[in-house]
Amino acid sequence: MYLIVGLGNPEEKYAKTFHNMGFIAAGDAAELLGAKFKKKECEASVAEAFVGGERVIIARPLTYMNASGRAVKQLMKKYKVSPAETVVLYDDYDLPKGHVRIRPSGSAGTHNGMRSVIAETGTSDFARIRIGIRDAEVNIPIINYVLSDVKKEDYELFAAACRRAAEAAAALARGESVDNVMCKFNG
């Protein structure tokens, strides 16, 4: 059993914002694993796949970013998924745009969605795949930046980063070790 969660905001007005990189990557992961988002449960939109006979749940919390942990906690409980079987995909202002970084555990950094996940689940011992969004040329408050739309000229860069993050999540779901996935995809 494996749980892949992409953080974001559910309304259409947020679809092309930096804060929805996790949602986009989760969609890419579902596609790679042959799943479709068909149901809503545990305050999330959920897709289900099977990899090597093992069930993989891909989810997009519908709680909005800052309350993402509620959905993650419910999903972990419902599907009896341990932190070691969980990976969270999300945007990260602390990484340069287009970079992907995988870690086996860690802090929330400046990310409120991850703060919620850690607070609700009571652990930070789950894999996370961060998609860098920081643009050194932009100098506006973080909250305004993360809720702004990706610039048209950067769309391909971010689409590729989300796809790379999805490939890393799919590799974890297929049983590759975090260390191996980090070697293949970090950068």
SS3 call for 126:
coil
Q: How far is CA 122 from CA 23, 37, 85, 110, 118, in A?
A: 23, 27, 15, 18, 6
* 8 A C-beta contact, residue 163 and residue 28: yes
Angle subtended at Cα 150 by Cα 145 and Cα 155, rounded to the nearest 5 degrees: 150
* Three-class SS state of 186: coil
19 as an active site residue: the answer is yes
Catalytic-labelled residue, pool 8, 19, 43, 76: 19
Residues assigned a catalytic role = 19
